[in-house]
Amino acid sequence: MKIIRVVTDIAAPVQTVWDELSAVAKYAEWNPFITTIQGELVAGSRLEVTIVPPGGRPMSFRPTITEVEEGKRLEWLGRLVLPGVFDGRHSFLLEDVGDGSTRLTQTEEFSGVLVPFTRTILERTHAGFEGMNEALRLRAERAHETEVGGHRLRTRAGFRR
């Protein structure tokens, strides 16, 4: 098993981040990695997802949503051909860090017989997660500034801007 995890702190409340993350019809406007998602964010439903890894070709797949916890967690499971060949469990976790900010953790757990042969794909996927998290951070922070009348909020020391 290989795990990719990217954690990003966002100077916006969880609900604002969730609103942007769950508005999948708008991904083409801002998301450099997951460029389209079609389908409903409901456990058990299938999605049509297109990703564009940095330096790679667009790829489409049809994962099944395994968990949706409003304002907190979204998870899906994608498979290549059959279970156990190349499976990816993808998740987004949002945590309130107590100061009006959110910690976003995007994770994918890859398993299956092909995983040892996918180093380049995994490296590009990691870079894609970084790009998406940063784009979501910028979008959510802008949306939050608009919500509070354009006033920039004071953030905790060391917060990445």
User: Which CATH fold would you assign to the domain 2-146?
Assistant: Alpha-D-Glucose-1,6-Bisphosphate; Chain A, domain 4 (3.30.530)
Report whether pLDDT(64) > 80.
Answer: yes
Give the pLDDT confidence score for residue 154 in this predicted structure: 44
pTM attached to this predicted model: 0.89
Rounded to whole angstroms, how far apart are CA atoms 101 and 47?
29
The answer to whether residue 159 scores a pLDDT higher than 90 is: no
* Res 148: pLDDT: 76
d(C-alpha 121, C-alpha 83), whole Å: 19
* Predicted confidence (pLDDT) per residue in 93-132, tens digit: 999 998 999 999 999 999 999 999 999 999 999 999 999 9
Q: Considering the chain, what is the average pLDDT of its residues?
A: 92
Q: What is the dihedral of CA 53, 54, 57, 60, to 10 degrees?
A: 20
Give pLDDT, residue 150: 54
What residue segments make up the domains of the chain, in order of their start? 2-146
Name the token pair of 108.
Answer: 């994918």
Work out the percent of the chain whose per-residue pLDDT is above 90.
84
119, 139, 124: which is closest to 55 by C-alpha?
A: 124
Strands (E), the chain: 2-10, 34-38, 48-51, 59-61, 64-69, 73-79, 87-96, 102-111
pLDDT digits (tens, 9 = 90+) for 74-97: 999 999 878 899 999 999 999 999
Q: Cβ contacts of residue 57 below 8 Å, gap of 6+?
A: none
Q: Tell me what pLDDT residue 81 has.
A: 78
Rg of the chain in Å (alpha carbons): 16
Cβ count near 87 (within 10 Å):
19
Please identify which residue in the block is written with the tokens 């999948």: 24
pLDDT of residue 137 exceeding 80, the answer is: yes
